[in-house]
Amino acid sequence: LKCDSVVSEISTGPGTVNFTINRELLAKTVLQQVWKDGSEYGVKSELFSAVPRQKAVIEFSSPNIAKKFHIGHLRSTIVGNFIANLKVALGHEVVRINYLGDWGMQFGLLGVGFQSFGNKEKLKSSPLQHLFEVYVQINKAAEDENTKKLAKDFFRKLEEHDEQTLSIWKQFRDLSIEEYIRIYKRLGVHFDEYSGESFYQEKAQEVLKMLEDKGLLQKTIKGTGVVDLSEKKDLSAVCTVMRSDGTSLYITRQFLIISFRDLAAAIDRMNKHSWDTMIYVTDKSQSNHFQHLFQILKLMGYDWAERCQHVSFGLVQGMKTRKGEVIFLEDVLNEVRSRMLQNMTSTKTTKEIQDPVETAEKVGLAALIIQDFRGLLSSDYQFSWDRALQSRGDTGVFLQYTHARLHSLEQMHGNAELTDVNVACLQEPDAISVLQHLLRYDEVLYRSSQDLQPKHIVSYLLTLSHLAAVAHKTLPVKGSAPDVAQARLCLFHAARSVLANGMKLLGITPVTQM
């Protein structure tokens, strides 16, 4: 075995052959690649050359209008956003869909409640909160026979497309979406389409007819409509799709009930978008629901059902704000912002920041996202504000701090120029550790693209931040000879660039001051 331009040394150990890579070549190659590819570093790797570019539809977030935007919706929102970001970065076309719970008997109750307790001004100024309050109030009277009758009448009119009733419902929906868009913007999340159960009224009837025509819909003794999912066709595994009174079941995904609307939505999206893969992001209690949904689609003759995927996640326990239980997403965002702001003002090292409130929000969000993405998505975890907001250790705050620190280093010493870098100045072990780690970025992206788990990227970025922090201490720029300072500046620029790329994939906006 001979040494060459890549391998500088070959030695043998007990039962091993050891190769030492040419470190100058390592430094030169990595720095040039990071510099040249910029935000596409890692994505242009040959690892992805054989991966076909596809069109993906991703359904995520999907809150119910007038009900709590609970912590499960927050998880669905940030996980779905991560998957969409990753797919876009890898060159796929992505359609982001928010499938709202905007239909069903609760709107009968809500309509009646609004007539009794509603306030048009409050509806305009804070629709989510006001509709939730109205819904809570009317629910107290929900057992009252008269209220029940009024609610049924209101919903019947909705289904019959009565103009006045529809315009009230439309106002609830439109104002809620406006408010959602504003809150999602704070999260850095957007959707290409706000869909909902209401879209599939007529189409649900077509699905019912298709099931009947294909002989898939069977009646039980009780009169409910079921689809037989058993292999032997002996009704040992069935999925209920219709009540005994003939109404299609309103979507209650956790009870293994498939609504015709879910089937209609899947078929409609295929017709509209001709996707290669469709991903649903919800909590793991709905796993059976999606398994059944995909099975029924396949029985209906849709082979593309095999390209549908359910990305499930575990439950979060213990997330409370100072006011108590989380009801609205905005409560969480305000809480994390105020706690972070408090931490920042009590820290001596905090510099005068141009917009402390916005910085606190971005850092706080990073804290929430990293705490959520550190483990397997399917795991349940106990939420802790104190742990999430720690500035040291493996937290989102630490990532943001590292990014801001590296950014201010560049500001202080002027931007690095790659053209005249002497890579012989980057041979210290701490510099080599950073360079070797940067070289692995594409492998981590590849792993995450395969299993859609953000934890690989999180773990990579935390290690990168720790390695950069050590190098920052042991390889000073200030006071070093000009070519040494320039080479180190290039190294830190590369580390910051890759750190920023990874953070953006996770849905975090890197801050430049802290």
What digits encode the pLDDT tens for the residues 379-399? 998 888 888 888 888 999 999
Confidence grade of residue 361 (pLDDT, cut at 50, 70, 90)? very high
Highest mean pLDDT among 69-73, 76-80, 312-316, 385-389: 76-80
Mean pLDDT for 247-260 is: 49
Query: Alpha-carbon torsion 457, 185, 62, 135, what sign?
Result: positive
316 with 75: CB under 8 angstroms?
yes
Residue 29 lies in a domain: yes
- Give the residue numbers spanning the domain of 394: 7-40+369-506
- Residue 251: per-residue pLDDT: 36
Which of the residues 44, 55, 67, 273 is marked catalytic?
67
Residue 13 lies in a domain: yes
Q: Is the predicted pLDDT of residue 102 greater than 50, yes or no? A: yes
Residue 34 lies in a domain: yes
At a CB cut-off of 8 Å and minimum separation 6, what does 50 contact? none
Helices 356-373 and 329-345 cross at an angle (nearest 10°) of 110
- Residue 326: per-residue pLDDT: 64
Residue 217 lies in a domain: no
State the pTM of this model.
0.92
Looking up tokens 């905007």, which residue turns up?
Answer: 102
Q: How far apart are CA 367 and CA 71, in angstroms?
A: 15
Active-site residue flag, 140 = no
Backbone torsions φ then ψ of 55, nearest 5 degrees = -110, 125
Mean pLDDT for 25-48 is: 95
Q: Is the predicted pLDDT of residue 257 greater than 60, yes or no? A: no
Percent of the chain predicted with pLDDT > 90: 68
Q: Is the predicted pLDDT of residue 154 greater than 90, yes or no? A: yes
Give the residues across from 10 on adjacent strands: 19
144 with 152: CB under 8 angstroms?
no
Q: How far apart are CA 402 and CA 478, in angstroms?
A: 18
CATH code of the domain containing 383: 1.10.730.10
Which of the residues 68, 70, 292, 310 is marked catalytic?
70
Active-site residue flag, 232 = no
For the chain, what is the largest distance between any 2 Cα atoms, rounded to a whole number of angstroms? 91
Cβ atoms < 10 Å from Cβ of 242: 22
Q: How far apart are CA 218 and CA 238, in angstroms?
A: 10
Q: How far apart are CA 388 and CA 44, in angstroms?
A: 33
Report how far apart, in Å, the C-alpha atoms of 360 and of each of 337, 354, 355, 434, 510 are: 5, 11, 9, 28, 12
Cβ atoms < 10 Å from Cβ of 192: 14
Q: Which helix (H) or strand (E) holds 187?
A: helix 163-187
Q: How far apart are CA 236 and CA 230, in angstroms?
A: 6
Residue 469 lies in a domain: yes
- Residue 460: per-residue pLDDT: 98
Residue 103 lies in a domain: no
The amino acid at residue 434 is: V
- Residue 248: per-residue pLDDT: 54
- Residue 397: per-residue pLDDT: 95
What mean pLDDT value characterizes the chain?
90
Which of the residues 73, 362, 437, 472 is marked catalytic?
73
Residue 316 lies in a domain: no
For residues 180 and 418, which has the higher predicted lDDT (pLDDT)?
A: 180
Active-site residue flag, 67 = yes
- Residue 408: per-residue pLDDT: 94
Confidence grade of residue 467 (pLDDT, cut at 50, 70, 90)? very high
Confidence grade of residue 449 (pLDDT, cut at 50, 70, 90)? very high
3-state secondary structure of 268: helix
Residue 442 lies in a domain: yes
Percent of the chain predicted with pLDDT > 70: 95
Number of domains in the chain: 1
Confidence grade of residue 223 (pLDDT, cut at 50, 70, 90)? confident
